[in-house]
Structure 1
Amino acid sequence: MLAQEESQTQFYTWNGYQCAYEVREPNLTSQESPVALLLIHPIGVGLSRLFWDRFSQQWQGGNGAETIYNPDLLGCGETASPRVAYYPEDFAAPLKHLIENIIKKPVVIISQGASFPITLELLGMTASENIAGLILAGPPAWSIITQPKPERQQRWLWNLFNSPLGGLFYRYARRRQFLESFSVRQLFGKAEDVDQPWLDMLKAGSADMASRHAVFSFLAGFWRKNYESAIAQIKQPTLVLMGETASSISKDSQPEAPQKRIDQYCQTLPNGQGKILPGRNVLPYESTTAFTEACKEFLQQLRNF
């Protein structure tokens, strides 16, 4: 196997904010793909583009032909963290700039979990020819992605979080004991998969208190809209990947089997397909090999599309 290229952290400016991203070039440049991969990480305590490290390394180590662009979303990682309420379109706008001014080729977007609304907003503001396909890793329950949260409730929650009480809560939530307990209860299929690198990543990523603004925007539900019509308008081929023990973190969702969630998405998506993989809610991390292979199969389909 050829040696893997080290990722390089780079920066660009959007709307006066510094935005960070990594680039991983393919090992086999002679097989360069006409598309690139754009990764959208989940939002949560300590989460950033580092969420994708295992996937990126395996993709590159397996001689994937696509260049990977892995940005830190606004308020996360090394990207600026203004103290404002972030809506999905606020996360999406810097990605639009990244696609149009830096990547400059069609991308296949891979989004994790409830970052899917960011993808939907990005689709709405980007020329369709710039996005070749979508891969959704554990997207939200159908009852969540199609059910808006009342605006008054969103603002009330944000004001509560954006207070000294919110700061105390964030300090509590970034403790290693809480991070481990939450990961076992809500994210991973097997407790033993909540390993030291995962916990170290979350601990380091949450050290900056400014990282709480993106997390609180997510918890306030600013991403909660009825996206059914937007999903029905997606023309690009879309792959929905669900863990065999997938669950929903939101208390508002209704229990549903993984296959049912896939069916609900694919019945609405004009060009959708789905697959169940081992794991629960963080497939790129807990089931990296199976997830990577499913993505590669989909990319091969796109080449023949």
Structure 2
Amino acid sequence: MSWKRKITFLSIFCGTAVGTMHVVNRLFSYLATADDYLHASEYNSYDWRFGKISYKKKGTGAPLLLIHNLNVCASSHEWNRVEDELSRSNTVYTLDLLGCGCSDHPLLTYTNFLYVQMITDFIKDIIKEKTDVIVSGDSSPFVLMACANDDTIINRVAMINPQNLVSLAKSPTKRSKMVKYFLSMPVFGTFVYNMKVNKKTIHQSFVSKYFYNQNEVNEKDILTCFEASHMDKSHSKYLYACLKSRFTNANITFCLNKLTNSIFIITGNSNPENILSANQYQNYLPSIEIVGIDNTKQIPHVEKPAEFVEQIKILFSEAE
């Protein structure tokens, strides 16, 4: 075969491969979002400087902001089993973080500091008064940083299984930056993202990591997470790339001993790592109170919503 034929063959092969990946990407996006499990039209919109932030407001009383886990599959849907009960005594705000759910998914580098500014601006522009915050998982660090950065916006904080401080302090490397570069590529990066984040992998995470009782895993929750991860033509891949490349990490130990807020940690006791991580925070800030919920893992507010709400009421009443 001559070199011209080889080049022609290679060009046709590459073009076909790219075309196939593009079709698969579009199919993934369509299948994931066709049923509208997130009910995007029901959200209010906050036009933030880096993109539209979708949020809901419910109830009356002192403000309470609920912030979901920092994950491409996460959204404010995470709070659907507790928000109604909490709204009986509070004005409850639930939002989708930038790059998640029904909020915009811009092409930018997502960092912990970006979310610090987002939360600060949202509280000042939308809530407009000092608020209590309940935050889930890997979103906990930027809430603490927001507290340290501005002591006028957040009152009490309840963190649910916050991220391990050792893992959180790891910074991006040359290798991780290359991962971010490839995942951000238009067709290839989207295809890899779709292979990594799909109904099967989400279900595996629910069964192995999130839920203690596998019988509690709800198919609708999986489909909702699948939809959230593929909104806006799967542009959540930009956040995914930053998460995988550690750009959302930050060493927050320097700010913990500066905090004067009442801070609580609620752990899923069926995962020993959750207790270890909570103790790390308490070692830096002894005033932190830790409460465990038995027979739960990463999302006790989903597995045992009634017990979770009861604990919140007790903890926040003690801190008044």
TM-score, scaled to structure 1: 0.83
* Cα distance in 1 between the residues matched to 2:173 and 2:191: 25
The equivalent of 2:9 in structure 1 is none
Deviation at 1:153, TM superposition (A): 4.0
* Cα distance in 1 between the residues matched to 2:105 and 2:85: 30
Higher Cα Rg, which structure? 2
- After superposition, the C-alpha distances for 1:159-186 in whole angstroms (9 at most, x for unaligned) are 1321244312221233222211122122
Bigger drift between 288-297 and 43-52 goes to 43-52
Deviation at 1:122, TM superposition (A): 2.0
* Cα distance in 2 between the residues matched to 1:47 and 1:105: 26
Whether contact under 8 Å (1:20, 1:72) holds in the other structure is yes
Deviation at 1:275, TM superposition (A): 0.8
* Cα distance in 1 between the residues matched to 2:279 and 2:148: 24
Residue among 208, 218, 229 paired with 1:206: 229
The equivalent of 2:241 in structure 1 is 216
The equivalent of 1:3 in structure 2 is none
Q: Show the 5 A alignment for 1:247-266.
A: 256=273, 258-266=274-282
Runs of 4 or more, structure 1, over 6 Å off, are none
The equivalent of 2:180 in structure 1 is 158
Deviation at 1:10, TM superposition (A): 1.2
Whether contact under 8 Å (2:136, 2:160) holds in the other structure is yes
The equivalent of 2:80 in structure 1 is 53
- After superposition, the C-alpha distances for 1:106-155 in whole angstroms (9 at most, x for unaligned) are 111111111112213322443x132111111001123223x322443442
Residue among 261, 264, 267 paired with 1:242: 267
Whether contact under 8 Å (1:154, 1:222) holds in the other structure is no
Whether contact under 8 Å (2:134, 2:159) holds in the other structure is yes
* Cα distance in 2 between the residues matched to 1:162 and 1:290: 41
* Cα distance in 1 between the residues matched to 2:175 and 2:117: 25
The equivalent of 1:287 in structure 2 is 304
Q: Show the 5 A alignment for 1:65-80.
A: 65-80=89-104
* Cα distance in 2 between the residues matched to 1:114 and 1:66: 24
Residue among 274, 282, 288 paired with 1:272: 288
Q: Show the 5 A alignment for 1:52-201.
A: 52-60=79-87, 63=88, 65-126=89-150, 128-145=151-168, 147-163=169-185, 164-201=187-224
Residue among 24, 45, 54 paired with 2:58: 24
Pairwise CA RMSD of aligned residues? 2.1
Whether contact under 8 Å (2:66, 2:92) holds in the other structure is yes
Deviation at 1:262, TM superposition (A): 2.8
Q: Structure 2 regions of 5+ residues with no counterpart?
A: 1-40
The alignment status of 1:14 with 2:41, answered yes or no, reads: no
Aligned amino acid, residue 117 of structure 1: P
The equivalent of 2:34 in structure 1 is none
* Cα distance in 1 between the residues matched to 2:276 and 2:53: 37
- After superposition, the C-alpha distances for 1:174-215 in whole angstroms (9 at most, x for unaligned) are 322221112212221121122122112112212321122222
SS of 2:46's equivalent in the other structure is strand
More helix by share: 2
* Cα distance in 2 between the residues matched to 1:273 and 1:170: 38
The percentage of aligned residue pairs carrying the same residue is 20
